[in-house]
């Protein structure tokens, strides 16, 4: 596609005028990232292509404060949604390469070609600002992850997994709050230990108090149920919320193949508490 150029057009306006070409060339550079564009937009509401254009315009305008601030914002957003650094590194490199290609095209179309000293200064500044963007991104990404890990560590330290016995062989575990993979691993370790120590034959996992559970925690739950069965214990799950059911179906996690499912805790108690009383 032919690039649009007018006399005395600045680099910034040259990029804006040809932004469709810029975006297309950017996607051609980022081989692994381009297939993830829609997924990243869906997961984190992050428009990679538009954000890349924003960064580039800040860079060519030499707006260092805005470059750093935007990098910090991007870092937190990527950390919140567990997007990988590997993809971001490739994306930054693609942005750098595409911008340099545009600088070359601009120089070729410009009748007043940029002298070597100015081109060197401009190139040095552009590289420096892109590095500043990535540094801000990486620091905020790392800080967010570190704070999250610390918060989870404190949660784990104070975490109790109350196992409520309702008979000599049947117990209930009421799970509440937000469940992620780290918390699920701690719960698994404690529960499996108690199953062995107390010779529990039936374990009711009540999820009615779980307000949110992430994808990795759900996948781990499936493996956790395998562990319960291997301990010679029958798992029963109750109180799964509709939104969590939807997520389970979307992920094709077949909990019903590994555990008995009951809509409410009361239904499970009717089956497992009353027979014990009759004895």
Confidence of residue 27 (pLDDT cuts 50, 70, 90): very high
Question: What superfamily would CATH give domain 164-278?
Answer: STAS domain (3.30.750.24)
Q: What is the pLDDT of residue 279?
A: 40
pLDDT reading at 159 higher than 60: no
State how far the alpha carbon of 27 is from the alpha carbons of 32, 91, 156, 236, in Å. 9, 9, 42, 48
Q: Do residues 29 and 101 make contact, with C-beta atoms less than 8 angstroms apart? A: no
Q: What is the pLDDT of residue 81?
A: 83
Q: What is the pLDDT of residue 158?
A: 53
Q: What is the pLDDT of residue 156?
A: 61
3-state secondary structure of 206: strand
Q: Taking phi first (over 0 means left), then psi (-120 to 50 degrees means alpha), and beta for anything else, what does residue 142 get?
A: alpha
Residues 6+ apart with CB under 8 A from 195: 203, 228, 231, 233
The larger pLDDT score, comparing residue 272 to residue 5, is at 5
pLDDT reading at 136 higher than 90: yes
Q: How far apart are CA 238 and CA 57, in angstroms?
A: 53
Q: How far apart are CA 236 and CA 233, in angstroms?
A: 10
Confidence of residue 256 (pLDDT cuts 50, 70, 90): confident
The larger pLDDT score, comparing residue 116 to residue 261, is at 261
Confidence of residue 40 (pLDDT cuts 50, 70, 90): confident
pLDDT reading at 277 higher than 50: no
First to last CA, the chain: 83
Tokens of residue 132, six digits: 């500043």
Domain locations along the chain: 11-154, 164-278
Q: What is the pLDDT of residue 278?
A: 41
User: What pLDDT digit, counting tens, does each position of 195-218 carry?
Assistant: 999 999 999 999 998 888 888 888
Q: Do residues 167 and 276 make contact, with C-beta atoms less than 8 angstroms apart? A: yes
3-state secondary structure of 63: coil
Q: Do residues 188 and 226 make contact, with C-beta atoms less than 8 angstroms apart? A: no
The larger pLDDT score, comparing residue 119 to residue 205, is at 205
Tokens of residue 251, six digits: 């992920």
User: What pLDDT digit, counting tens, does each position of 55-113 carry?
Assistant: 999 999 999 999 999 999 999 999 888 888 888 999 999 999 999 999 888 888 887 66
Region 31-48 average pLDDT: 85
Bridge partners, residue 262, by sequence: 238
């Amino acid at each position: 596609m032919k690039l649009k150029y007018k006399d005395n057009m600045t680099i910034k306006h040259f990029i804006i005028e040809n932004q469709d070409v810029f975006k297309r060339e950017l996607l051609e550079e980022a081989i692994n990232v381009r297939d993830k564009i829609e997924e990243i937009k869906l997961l984190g509401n992050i428009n990679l292509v538009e954000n890349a254009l924003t960064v580039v315009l800040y860079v060519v305008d030499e707006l260092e404060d805005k470059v750093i601030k935007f990098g910090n914002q991007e870092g937190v957003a990527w950390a919140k949604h567990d997007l990988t650094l590997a993809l971001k590194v490739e994306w930054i490199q693609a942005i750098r390469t595409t911008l340099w290609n545009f600088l070359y095209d601009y120089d070729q179309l410009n009748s007043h070609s940029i002298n070597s000293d100015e081109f060197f200064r401009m190139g040095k500044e552009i590289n420096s600002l892109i590095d500043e963007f990535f540094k801000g991104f990486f620091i905020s990404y790392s800080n967010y992850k570190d704070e999250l890990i610390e918060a989870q560590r404190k949660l784990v330290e104070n975490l109790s997994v109350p196992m409520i016995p309702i008979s000599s062989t049947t117990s209930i575990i009421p799970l509440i709050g937000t469940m992620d993979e780290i918390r699920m691993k701690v719960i698994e370790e404690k529960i499996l230990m108690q199953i062995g120590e107390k010779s529990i034959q039936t374990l009711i996992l009540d999820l009615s108090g779980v307000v949110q559970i992430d994808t990795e925690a759900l996948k781990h739950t499936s493996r956790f149920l395998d562990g319960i069965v291997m301990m010679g214990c029958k798992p029963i799950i109750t109180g799964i919320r509709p939104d969590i059911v939807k997520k389970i179906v979307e992920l094709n996690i077949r909990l019903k193949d590994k555990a008995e499912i009951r809509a409410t805790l009361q239904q499970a108690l009717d089956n497992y508490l009353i027979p014990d009383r009759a004895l």
